[in-house]
Structures are given as C-alpha cells and as structure tokens.
Amino acid sequence: MRRPFHSAGLRQTEDELELHAAPVEAATADTAQHEKLARVNLAAMYRLVEQSGWGEGIFNHISMRVPGSPREFLIKPHELGYAEVTASNLVRVSMDDDLDERSGVNRPGFVLHSTILKARSDVNCALHVHVPEVVAVGALRRGLRMYCQAALRFYEQLGYHPYEGLTESLEEGPRMMKALGRNGVALLLRNHGAVTVSETAWGAFSLMRYLVSACKIQLQIEGAGGEAVEISQGACESARKQLSSHNTGRAGADWPAWLRRLDAVDPTYRF
C-alpha cells in the first residue's frame, strides 16, 4: 500500500535538544515535541554527514524512528541532497509499507532502514554510508582489526554481510539482521559500505566517526608494511567497559557541540 508522507515545520531552542541523550520512552514531553526534536536531530545528521565528506549526492540515507509511533520513521526525500535537508522536509513513512521513489523515498534506503528499525526495537537511528576506507576494510577477509582505540568501539559488536547487489529486496532483510545481531552497533556490508545503529542521533553519528577513523588507521598501518600490533583481548574487554561509562557520562556534551558548529555555519537545518 502506498501512503502519503507528512511533515511539520518547527523551531526550538538548543536547550530542548538535550532530549538526544535519553531514550524516547524516558522523555516526558508530549509526542509532537518529541517528533520536532527528532526531526531537528536527523536533519542535523544529514548536514554533518555532508560536512564530513561522507555524502554521495542524493544517495545513502539516515533514518530516525518517529517518537510515539514506533512503526514509522523519518528519512530524507529521494531527490534532495544532504545539504538541502531540513527538519520540516523529512519524509515520514510506515516501515510496514512497501515503498519506492513513487512515494518520495529511495527504494534501497527504505528497504535497509525499515529492516533495521523493525527488527531492533532498541534502535531509533541508523546511518548508512559508502566511505571508501570503510568499503576497503569491509572487503578484507579479516575485516576490522583491533589496531586502535577507535576500533574498540566495535569489539564483538560488529557484523559482516556479504554483497547481494542493491538492497532493493525485502527478502535480504533477515540475512542482514542476522549478521548485525541483537546487540550489534555496526554492520559492514562487504564490498558496499557500512551501517551504524543507536538509540540516538548522536550515537549513530559518533559510531560512524569512529568506524571511519578505525578503517583509515588500519589501512595506514597495513600499508606501512611492518608487523602490526593488535590490542590484547584483555585490554579490549576492559576498554569496552570504560567506553560504556564514557558514553553515558562525559560524552553527553558532544552532540550539542556539533549542533553549535552547524548553527555557526548554516542553521537552516532546524526549519
């Protein structure tokens, strides 16, 4: 069934964006305000991905579950570039539909993001990119190695899915989700790209930053030709616990800083 999309204009203060750090279920504001905040955070992600050099024209996508409506999500209109995305022009769609460009959304983007959000109720945001260094590491048989601190973010939480072509078929969904797993935070799509998932916009964006960094460092290390030293299993396990505490503590100040960076350049993503 084809369904029309809905949008809403908005403007709010930066203080209201503190909601990014808490699960939607834990927030106390009304549903409409939750959606406004989700729209601003998602639009900000599109702009930041473009600024980071991860964009690919109008392709690749970022999605956000609609607060208060868990079977719907927000995604950019198919024809818009990342720098054109604003809070009010995001498309709201049902993950239970079977949509393509006639409904205003990119077909592969809809398939990938609806699959993830349906299967993982703990995930509210998913980010997919084709950054060259990430594609390169994903094409290596051994995949991502624990060569640096950035890689530790994915220790025992990274899945791999073999290339099957464009993600146009809903039948591929269960195989991708089996690779991601119940607790995975990222998925390397072999010969294709990567996806990071989180309950917040900041979480998915931050994870992708670390994944891109880890892949770049790995290629530099392996390209140097010397014998590489991997972080020990014990250190990986210890650091994972430290990072969990870090993410729920001091790192909470990170996302507002990224928003201030955007506001200083072009605040139109909020509208």
Q: Given this model, what pLDDT does residue 136 score?
A: 98
Q: Given this model, what pLDDT does residue 190 score?
A: 98
Q: What is the pLDDT of residues 45-86, one digit of tens each?
A: 999 999 999 999 999 999 999 999 999 999 999 999 999 999
Q: Count the Cβ atoms, other than its own, within 10 Å of residue 76.
A: 27
Q: Given this model, what pLDDT does residue 50 score?
A: 97
Q: Count the Cβ atoms, other than its own, within 10 Å of residue 42.
A: 25
Residue 53 inside a domain? The answer is yes
Residue 116 inside a domain? The answer is yes
Residue 3 inside a domain? The answer is no
Question: Is there a contact between 46 and 125 (Cβ–Cβ < 8 Å)?
Answer: no
Collect the ranges in the chain with pLDDT lower than 70. Answer: 1-29, 249
Please give, one letter per residue, the 3-state secondary structure of 190-249.
CCCEEEEEECCHHHHHHHHHHHHHHHHHHHHHHHHCCCCCCCCHHHHHHHHHHHHHHHCC
Q: Given this model, what pLDDT does residue 29 score?
A: 52
Q: Which residues pair with 216 in a beta bridge?
A: none
Residue 5 inside a domain? The answer is no
Rounded (10°) angle between helices 254-265 and 31-51: 70
- Structural tokens at position 203: 């979480």
Residue 271 inside a domain? The answer is no
Q: Given this model, what pLDDT does residue 4 score?
A: 34
Structural domain span for residue 46: 14-259
Residue 55 inside a domain? The answer is yes
The total of structural domains in the chain comes to: 1
Residue 106 inside a domain? The answer is yes
Q: Given this model, what pLDDT does residue 253 score?
A: 85
Q: Given this model, what pLDDT does residue 244 score?
A: 78
CA-based nearest residue to 118, from 138, 152, 137, 93:
93
Can you tell me the distance from the alpha carbon of 133 to that of 145, in angstroms, rounded to the nearest whole number?
A: 13
Residue 58 inside a domain? The answer is yes
Q: Given this model, what pLDDT does residue 255 score?
A: 94
CATH number of the domain at 146, please: 3.40.225.10
